[in-house]
Amino acid sequence: MRLGTVEVVNSLGRHERVVIDTEQGLVDATAARIAFLERSFRASAARRIGEAQTPPDLKEIIAIGALGLDWVRDACAFVLDNGIEATSGGQRTVYQRGDVALIAPIPRPPAINCSTTWAEHIKSAEAKGSSVHWPPPGSPLKGFYKANAMSVAAADSVVPIPPFADGDLDIECELAAVVGTGGTNLSKEEAVKAIAGYCIFNDISIRKRQRDEMRLGLGPTTGKDTDGGNIMGPFLVTSDEVGDVSDLMMSLHVNGETWSSMSTREMAWPISDVLSYMSQGQTIHPGHIITSGSYPGGCGSDLGRTLKPGDKFELRIARLGSLANQFAQR
């Protein structure tokens, strides 16, 4: 399934709803579940149970695990197969793209960690004087930093430019895993099962500020944590639909020009290994985002190129779709 979050505007204000992306439209997961349950329960009971089983918060749905996704899948098929447009209480079950605004699949993740899974990307940065280093052979360490989980943005958003940017704008094409059930002290096998799905992630970077800050020895700070600087989407694609994540083609495009591409088979280790490493002694919660880092050439810095205000950029990953955005004009 392709699961997302949309903002719906009606007479009662603005509301977030979880949707399933289908050829017939965006199916409202909560409303569909209520309609499904109305076959067996009175309307009031169906609504209470449906909102409990499939709340309008994707973090809560994926926290249930496979059963929660099955509830969504069955309800979606039911309303589409039977042409049900609304619950008995009048809740709409299907939206068209133009009716709602697509926001990030997990608008408020409990945490975001950007990791290093591509050796050549780190070694390239190191050769340019960066303080980052690739772990030595045989090391169990998995490098990552903690990104700003309160600066999440969605597909098609315009990225504001901070006053200290000095024109040194960059983007990063990354694969992101979205934790479902979570847990603590996860084995590598358990970590694979704890991932609900994947999406595309764009790590906006202000390179000069980042380089200056990293010389302090504490990692990137404002150079990576600008408003709207963690872009993800367009949908969370469930692990069963993505299938083998070890051979997905990724590519970077700026103003319609293809800058680079690479397969995930070049990653040194899968994101699930990073999740297992992170979970040792630390509880990882549903909705936690873990990214792969940029592939070699998946950012302007690797290619010796920079972006400027007004530039349009698009990241593509096979089976996950396309994530397109634009830098604001000054």
pLDDT digits (tens), the chain, 330 positions: 999 999 998 767 889 999 999 999 999 999 999 999 999 999 999 999 999 999 999 999 999 999 999 999 999 999 999 999 999 999 999 999 889 999 999 999 999 999 989 888 777 777 766 667 788 888 888 888 889 999 999 999 999 999 888 778 999 999 999 999 999 999 999 999 999 999 999 999 998 888 888 778 777 778 888 999 999 999 999 999 999 999 999 999 999 999 999 999 999 999 999 999 999 999 999 999 999 999 999 999 999 999 999 999 999 999 999 999 999 987
Please report, for the chain, the start and end positions of each structural domain, with discontinuous segments joined by +.
2-102, 106-327
pTM of the model: 0.94
**Domain 106-327: what homologous superfamily?**
Fumarylacetoacetase-like, C-terminal domain (3.90.850.10)
Residues 168 and 209: beta-carbon distance below 8 Å: yes
Alpha carbon distance 241, 257 (integer Å): 29
Residues 189 and 168: beta-carbon distance below 8 Å: no
